[in-house]
């Protein structure tokens, strides 16, 4: 694998960009490699600055469910851009995307569009606090909800469930209203409600976690959260920035039949352009400015170019319904990977739902952050590097999700399986 140009570009980037990247995970630190710089992509194929080509299973961390440079999406974007790119004034396109989301997600009556998943989560929590008049928020270890200050929180020292900042720059005061519980542990959440019930504004969860690697919430757990929130008049926030329109048309709520009060979306609904969304019942959403008093704003919120890409993406998903094929292809890939690793005597477990999965180098089931972090990250790093050399681009971290797109074919799966067969760990 040639790396000269990639290395030159990384050296140059480091001079003017912190760590040479605009988002930390792209630096490949956890996989002991230097990052590649992408020159172009089409379908499933990435091409880096040295001309190396890769089958992409990271898909820009989820958005590219139709593959890269999808013609119908690009045509819509070009058409929209030709008429202007940003007005800061309403466009009918925003209403169209909002109507598609309302029609798809059972719990959403109204939608506010923003420019990132982080912004969507920040708004959702402020809205929940404004709607309930309460301050505390419950989150789960291993769930990532963007770099919102009060979400950059880990379990406090000892067994305390009070949050402690997980990043410098987040004041302790910002973390003190964040309560932590283990994922899939309803008893722990019940204890939090017993102690803080009437101060808890919301519980926020990735109903399918993608940020500790893929970990699915048990249906009974989600139903239990729903019951606890109803009983305590707290709001249930589903962060479906990854899972929305990924695991099903309408997200996890459609799959499992558990309704959120507020849902955050992103990634796929922007078709590869900057976007985020907050959706919920009209009685809650009407509290958002200018209808209500909970303030939220954004220069490029609902940007027509981003929205056009999202509409074109959702239209293709709605008309083609690729979900059964995507799931079948993903199951086929995971089954073959597992057979090969078993034959090699390599301990592992794979969590898969729909067209997302994570291969953990871990002999035990991975059901929460504690079990996920017992995975062999050194082994994952070696696996990542060997697969990259073989022309397969995986997420550069053990604790991320792999994704398939409608551009993946059985031929790509065969090439991927052949690369796994050559791996030595």
| Cα angle value 400/403/406 (rounded, 5°) | 170
Report in angstroms how near the CB of residue 267 gets to ligand KE4 at its nearest: 7
Binding flag, residue 121, ligand KE4 (CB under 6 A): yes
Catalytic residue among 136, 183, 267, 380: 267
User: Which residue has the CB atom at the shortest distance from ligand KE4?
Assistant: 117
Binding flag, residue 145, ligand KE4 (CB under 6 A): yes
Nearer to ligand KE4, 45 or 204 (CB): 204
Binding flag, residue 116, ligand KE4 (CB under 6 A): yes
Nearer to ligand KE4, 163 or 390 (CB): 163
Residues 6 or more apart whose Cβ sits within 8 Å of residue 126: 294, 295, 296
Binding flag, residue 266, ligand KE4 (CB under 6 A): yes
Cβ(180)–Cβ(164) under 8 Å? no
- Is residue 374 part of the annotated active site? The answer reads no
Tokens of 402: 């792999």
Catalytic residue among 54, 57, 144, 380: 144
Binding flag, residue 130, ligand KE4 (CB under 6 A): no
Report in angstroms how near the CB of residue 319 gets to ligand KE4 at its nearest: 26
Nearer to ligand KE4, 140 or 193 (CB): 140
The span of 38-46, 113-121, 122-130, 229-237 binding ligand KE4 (CB under 6 A) equals 113-121
Cβ(276)–Cβ(118) under 8 Å? yes
- Using DSSP's 3-state secondary structure scheme, residue 277 falls into strand
- Using DSSP's 3-state secondary structure scheme, residue 61 falls into helix
- Using DSSP's 3-state secondary structure scheme, residue 71 falls into helix
Applying CB under 6 A, among 54, 61, 357, 361 the residue interacting with ligand KE4 is 61
Per-residue x/- marks for ligand KE4, 203-242, CB under 6 A?
---x---xx---------------------------x-xx
Report in angstroms how near the CB of residue 352 gets to ligand KE4 at its nearest: 16
Q: Backbone phi, then psi, for 275, in 5-degree steps?
A: -160, 155
Applying CB under 6 A, among 13, 25, 164, 425 the residue interacting with ligand KE4 is 25
Applying CB under 6 A, among 55, 400, 408, 416 the residue interacting with ligand KE4 is 400
Residues 6 or more apart whose Cβ sits within 8 Å of residue 8: none
Cβ(141)–Cβ(115) under 8 Å? no
Count CB neighbours of 74 within 10 A. 15
Nearer to ligand KE4, 242 or 372 (CB): 242
Catalytic residue among 48, 239, 368, 376: 239
Distances (CA, A) of 353 to 27, 85, 222, 284, 401: 27, 36, 16, 30, 10
Q: How many residues in the shown chain lie near ligand KE4 by CB under 6 A?
A: 18
Tokens of 398: 């053990």
Report in angstroms how near the CB of residue 403 gets to ligand KE4 at its nearest: 10
Stated as kind and residue range, the H or E segment containing 331 is helix 323-344
- Is residue 267 part of the annotated active site? The answer reads yes
Report in angstroms how near the CB of residue 252 gets to ligand KE4 at its nearest: 11
Binding flag, residue 56, ligand KE4 (CB under 6 A): no
Binding flag, residue 144, ligand KE4 (CB under 6 A): yes
Nearer to ligand KE4, 182 or 276 (CB): 276
- Is residue 57 part of the annotated active site? The answer reads no
Residues 6 or more apart whose Cβ sits within 8 Å of residue 67: 42, 43, 44, 59, 405, 406, 407, 408
- How many residues in the chain? 425
- Using DSSP's 3-state secondary structure scheme, residue 165 falls into strand
Cβ(259)–Cβ(279) under 8 Å? no
List the beta bridge partners of residue 46. 41, 54
Applying CB under 6 A, among 15, 23, 157, 343 the residue interacting with ligand KE4 is 23
φ/ψ bin of 341: left (φ > 0), alpha (ψ from -120 to 50), beta (otherwise): alpha
- Residues at the contact surface with ligand KE4, assessed by CB under 6 A: 23, 25, 61, 116-118, 121, 144-146, 206, 210-211, 239, 241-242, 266, 400
Which residues participate in catalysis according to the annotation?
A: 144, 239, 267
């Amino acid at each position: 694998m040639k790396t000269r140009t990639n290395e030159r570009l990384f050296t140059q980037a480091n001079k003017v960009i912190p760590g040479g990247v605009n988002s930390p995970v792209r630096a490949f630190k956890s996989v002991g490699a230097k990052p590649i710089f992408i020159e172009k992509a089409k379908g499933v194929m990435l091409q880096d600055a040295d001309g190396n080509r890769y089958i992409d299973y990271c898909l820009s961390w989820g958005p590219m469910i139709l593959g890269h440079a999808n013609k119908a999406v690009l045509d819509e974007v070009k058409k929209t851009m030709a008429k202007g790119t940003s007005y800061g004034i309403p466009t009918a396109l925003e209403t169209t995307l909002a109507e598609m989301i309302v029609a798809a997600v059972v719990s959403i009556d109204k939608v506010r569009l923003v420019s990132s998943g982080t912004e969507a989560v920040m708004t959702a929590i402020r809205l929940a606090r404004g709607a309930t008049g309460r301050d505390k928020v419950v989150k789960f270890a291993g769930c990532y909800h963007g770099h919102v200050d009060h979400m950059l929180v880990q379990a406090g020292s000892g067994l305390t469930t009070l949050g402690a900042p997980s990043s410098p720059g987040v004041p302790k005061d910002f973390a003190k209203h964040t309560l932590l519980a283990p994922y899939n542990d309803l008893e722990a959440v019940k204890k939090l409600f017993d102690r803080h019930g009437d101060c808890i504004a919301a519980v926020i969860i990735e109903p399918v976690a993608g940020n500790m690697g893929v970990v699915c919430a048990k249906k009974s757990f989600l139903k239990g959260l729903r019951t606890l929130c109803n009983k305590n008049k707290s709001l249930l926030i589903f962060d479906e920035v990854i899972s929305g329109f990924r695991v099903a048309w309408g997200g996890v709520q459609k799959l499992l039949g558990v309704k959120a009060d507020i849902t955050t979306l992103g990634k796929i609904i922007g078709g590869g352009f900057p976007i985020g969304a907050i959706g919920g019942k009209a009685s809650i959403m009407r509290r958002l400015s200018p209808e209500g008093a909970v303030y939220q704003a954004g220069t490029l919120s609902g940007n027509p170019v981003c929205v056009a890409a999202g509409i074109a993406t959702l239209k293709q998903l709605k008309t083609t319904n690729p979900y059964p094929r995507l799931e079948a292809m993903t199951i086929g890939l995971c089954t073959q990977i597992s057979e090969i690793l078993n034959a090699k005597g390599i301990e592992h477990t794979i969590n898969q739902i729909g067209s997302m999965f994570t291969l953990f180098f871990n002999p035990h089931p991975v059901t929460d952050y504690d079990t996920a972090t017992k995975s062999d990250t050194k082994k994952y790093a070696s696996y990542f590097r060997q697969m990259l050399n073989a022309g397969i681009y995986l997420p550069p971290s053990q604790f991320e999700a792999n994704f398939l797109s409608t551009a993946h074919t059985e031929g790509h799966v065969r090439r991927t399986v052949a690369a796994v067969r050559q791996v030595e760990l």
